[in-house]
Amino acid sequence: MRADAEVEAFRAEVRAFIAEHGPALRAEGLRVPRDADEERRIRAWLGSLYEAGYLGGGWPEEWGGRPDHLPVHDLVVMEELIRARAYRPLDQVMLAAHEIIEFGSDDQKRELLPKIRSGEHVWCQLFSEPDAGSDLASLRTRAEPVDGGFVVTGQKIWSTDAQWADMGVLLARTDPTVDRHAGITAFVVPMGLPGIEVRPIREMTGDAEFCEVFLDEVRLGSEHVLGEVDDGWRVVTSGLASERAFVGANALQLEMMFADLVALARAARLPDGSAAIDHEDVQAQLAVALARVEEANLITRDTVERILVDDEHPSDGPVAKLSYTETNVALCEAALELLAGAATIGEEGREVAERWRHDFLWSRALTISGGASEIMRGLIGRQLLGLPRA
Ligand SMILES: Cc1cc2nc3c(=O)[nH]c(=O)nc-3n(C[C@H](O)[C@H](O)[C@H](O)COP(=O)(O)OP(=O)(O)OC[C@H]3O[C@@H](n4cnc5c(N)ncnc54)[C@H](O)[C@@H]3O)c2cc1C
C-alpha cells in the first residue's frame, strides 16, 4: 500500500472534511435511514462527498472523475469514513454508476450520473427473487416486448434501500427460449412508475433495510434498456466497481471491532464483581480473536496490494470476502459470549455493548450478501485450488 506523502496529505484532508461536514446521523450501526429527514441528510452528505471529489474519483473525467485519481484514494476515503464511524455510500449506488458508465447510452449517462453525484438519486438493485438468489440466472420476472418498449411483471426480494430509491437496476427475462444466461436484459427503472409496489421487510435488527418489490405490468420504454437487449448478464457481471479498492478498508473495520471487543471485556463485570478481562479464559478468547483479525487483515492487505497495481487473481475477491465476513461473525460471537457471562456492564461499555448486539444480529447477513460463503468456497475451490465442479 502506498504510504507516500501525497497519500498521507490526502488522508489528512479527507479526515478534516469528515470531521467538519460529517452529519450527526443515528451514528452506530446506521445502515438505513430511520425517517425522511435522516434520508435527506444522508443524500446531502453523499452529494458533498462526490462534490469534494472523495467519491467517484475514478469515474471518467467528463463525468466528474479526478485526473490524479488512484485506487489508493478510494481506500483512504473508505478508511476515514469507517474510522469516523460516518455514513458510508451503499454498494448498489456505486455499482449502478459503474454499470451506467460502462453500458449506458449517452442519454442515460447525461441524465443519471449527475444525479448520483449530487445525491439526488438513490439506487437499488432489483436482481434477487424468491426463487433466484445464488442461482440468479434462474430469475423469472418477465419483460415482454411491446411496441416501443417492454411490459414487466414479476417479484423481486431483498432489494436494499428500495423504499428510499429513486431508481433501480432491474434484471428481467426477455427471451425464455434461449440459454438462461442469454435471455436476460438489464433496465434502469424509475421506482415511481405505475405498477411498482415496494414493501419493506423488518429484520431482526429492528431495521427495515430490504424490501420486496412487486412489478405488475410495468411499462418501460426502450430508453430504459441498459446495454443491449438480452445482454443483461454481461452488465451485472461486468467486473468490479471502479472503487474496488474499498475492500481494503475491511482490515480497519476488523481492527476497530477488536478494539471494541477489548473495551467490552474491560467493561464487563462477572458475578463476583471482577472485570472479565482479568480472567485467563477471557484473555485466551481475546488472543484467538486477535489472531483471526491479523490473519484476515493479512489476506485483505495482500489482495489490496494486487488491486492497487491492477494485478488481481480471480479468487482474490472471494478469499477476501470470505475471510472478512467469517471473521466478523467470529468476533460478534465472542462479544456475545462475553455479554452472556457478564453480570453487569460498566457505564463506559454501554455504547460498545449496544453496538455488539446490533452487529451480532447483522453479521450473518454479510455472509450472504454479495455472494454467500458457500458460493465463495466453491469459487475458491475451482479458481484457486483447481478442484472440479461438484
Ligand atoms: C445484506 C444483504 C443485502 C442484499 N441486497 C440485495 C439487493 O440490494 N438486491 C438484490 O437483488 N439482492 C440483494 N440481496 C440478496 C442476495 O443477493 C441473496 O440473498 C443471495 O444471492 C443468496 O440468495 P438466496 O437468499 O436466494 O439464498 P439461496 O441462493 O437460496 O441459498 C440458500 C443457501 O444455500 C447455499 N447454496 C446455494 N447455492 C449453492 C451452491 N451452488 N453450492 C453450495 N451452497 C449453495 C447458499 O450458500 C445459502 O447458504 C441481499 C442480501 C443480503 C443478505
Atom nearest to 374 CA in ligand 1: 47
Q: Taking each helix axis as running N to C, give the angle between helix 249-267 and helix 350-366, from 0 to 180 degrees, rounded to the nearest 10.
A: 140
Say which DSSP state 299 is in.
Answer: H
Ligand 1: residue of 93, 135, 156, 158 to mutate (most ligand atoms within 8 A of CB) is 158
Amino acid identity for residue 45 in this structure:
W
The pLDDT assigned to 237 comes to 86
The pLDDT assigned to 29 comes to 45
Q: How far apart (Å, rounded) are the C-alpha atoms in residues 246 and 77?
A: 8
The pLDDT assigned to 39 comes to 85
Cell numbers standing for residue 294: 491479523
User: CB under 8 Å, gap of 24 or more: what pairs does 7-14 form?
Assistant: 7/72, 7/73, 7/76, 10/73, 10/76, 11/76, 11/79, 11/80, 14/54, 14/76, 14/77, 14/80
Centre of ligand 1 from the C-alpha of residue 378, in Å: 14
State how far the alpha carbon of 356 is from the alpha carbons of 41, 329, 362, in Å.
26, 11, 10
Q: How far apart (Å, rounded) are the C-alpha atoms in residues 296 and 247?
A: 12
Cell numbers standing for residue 94: 456505486
Centre of ligand 1 from the C-alpha of residue 325, in Å: 14
Amino acid identity for residue 131 in this structure:
D
Q: What is the mean pLDDT of the chain?
A: 92
Say which DSSP state 129 is in.
Answer: B
Residue identifier of the C-alpha nearest atom 29 of ligand 1: 134
Which numeric CATH code is attached to 123-236?
2.40.110.10
Ligand 1: residue of 95, 122, 123, 128 to mutate (most ligand atoms within 8 A of CB) is 128
Residue identifier of the C-alpha nearest atom 7 of ligand 1: 159
Kind plus residue range of the DSSP H or E element containing 181: none
Q: How far apart (Å, rounded) are the C-alpha atoms in residues 316 and 24?
A: 35
- pLDDT exceeds 90 at position 151: yes
350 burial type by CB count under 10 A (0-12 exposed, 13-18 middle, 19+ buried)? exposed
Closest CA to 170 of 199, 204, 136: 136
- The residue ranges of every structural domain in the chain are 5-89, 123-236, 244-383
Across the range 141-148, mean pLDDT stands at 96
Residue 9 backbone class (left: φ over 0; alpha: ψ -120 to 50; beta: rest): alpha
Same topology for domains 123-236 and 244-383, yes or no? no
State how far the alpha carbon of 68 is from the alpha carbons of 49, 61, 240, in Å.
17, 10, 21
Across the range 327-355, mean pLDDT stands at 94
Centre of ligand 1 from the C-alpha of residue 190, in Å: 25
For CA atoms 356, 362, 368, 369, the dihedral sign is negative
Closest CA to 209 of 159, 134, 155: 159
The pLDDT assigned to 215 comes to 98
Residues serving a catalytic function are: 243
The answer to whether the beta carbons of residues 119 and 50 sit under 8 Å apart is yes
Residue written as grid cell 405505475: 194
Residue identifier of the C-alpha nearest atom 24 of ligand 1: 133
Residue identifier of the C-alpha nearest atom 39 of ligand 1: 375
Q: Which residues partner with 132 through β-bridges?
A: 129
Q: What is the pLDDT of residues 282-300, one digit of tens each?
A: 999 999 999 999 999 999 9
Q: Which CATH superfamily is domain 244-383 in?
A: Butyryl-CoA Dehydrogenase, subunit A, domain 3 (1.20.140.10)
The pLDDT assigned to 31 comes to 62
- Of the two residues 30 and 278, the one the predictor is more confident about is 278
The pLDDT assigned to 240 comes to 59
Q: Which residues line ligand 1 (CB under 6 A)?
A: 92, 124-125, 127-128, 133-134, 158-160, 365, 368-369, 372, 374-375, 378
Closest CA to 130 of 213, 237, 196, 202: 213
- pLDDT exceeds 70 at position 26: no
Q: Of the given ranges (104-108, 158-162, 282-286, 309-313), which has the lowest mean pLDDT?
A: 309-313
Cell numbers standing for residue 263: 473495551
Q: How confident is the model at residue 28 (pLDDT cuts 50, 70, 90)?
A: very low
Q: How far apart (Å, rounded) are the C-alpha atoms in residues 27 and 82?
A: 11
Q: Of the given ranges (87-101, 144-158, 247-261, 284-298), which has the lowest mean pLDDT?
A: 87-101
- pLDDT exceeds 50 at position 339: yes
In the chain, the percentage of residues whose pLDDT exceeds 90 is: 74
State how far the alpha carbon of 282 is from the alpha carbons of 256, 294, 345, 353, in Å.
18, 18, 15, 16
Centre of ligand 1 from the C-alpha of residue 240, in Å: 18
Q: How far apart (Å, rounded) are the C-alpha atoms in residues 346 and 102?
A: 52
The pLDDT assigned to 205 comes to 87
Q: What is the pLDDT of residues 177-223, one digit of tens each?
A: 999 999 999 999 999 999 999 999 999 988 888 999 999 999 999 99
The pLDDT assigned to 370 comes to 87
